[in-house]
Homo-oligomer: A and B are copies of this chain.
Amino acid sequence: MVYREEFQVTSNAGVPTFHNVTGQTKNAVKNSGIRNGIVVVYSRHTTCCVIIEEDAFDMAITGLETLQQDFVEVFEKLIPTYRKEGMYQHPGPKALKFGAEHGEDAQACHNTDAHLRSSLVGRSETVVVIDGKMDLGEFGNIYFIDFDQTRARTRTVQIQVIGE
């Protein structure tokens, strides 16, 4: 048996956005009627990804939770935000031309860091479903991360439940 839901989230500009989609995923599992199997939470956007992490309680000055901010800092060290020309080879002239022809301004094309970060993390997470419930342990939450900081955007989160 396969059951699907999708919904939209709106990301901020200027900072990676962590969307807590645990509640929506729990509801989808419930709505599916599936008792045992898996649920896949998936991003079709190539600058977004999915992780499972604890709720950290405390907030950083950026508006992210402390553990989210620490996660961002790891990437700031490894794959820094695209701040000036020449940090990455992408986007090249053809990519910029393609962007311009499709109504993207040049600044929005310089989201290379988001492409690299999100592909390293992975586009989806899979959670086991047992007796009609996701097993996230005591503290697990599912976050859909939008690493693209160049502009505010609406994104689609896909939830696919498979089982019996």
Contacts and interface: CB of A to CB of B under 8 A. Distances in A.
Interface of A: 1-2, 4, 36-38, 40, 42, 44-46, 51-54, 56-60, 65-67, 69-71, 73-74, 77-79, 88-95, 98, 112, 115-116, 119-128, 130, 135-137, 139-140, 158, 160, 162-164
Contacts of A115: 53-54, 67
Contact of A121 (B44, B120, B135, B160): B120
Nearest to A99: B57
Contacts of A112: 67, 70
B89 A58 contact: yes
24 contacts: A2-B36, A4-B130, A38-B162, A42-B135, A44-B140, A46-B52, A46-B140, A53-B115, A56-B92, A56-B95, A57-B92, A57-B95, A57-B98, A58-B94, A58-B95, A66-B91, A66-B95, A70-B88, A70-B90, A70-B112, A74-B116, A78-B78, A122-B125, A128-B160
Contact of A119 (B45, B51, B123): B51
A54 to B, nearest CB: 5
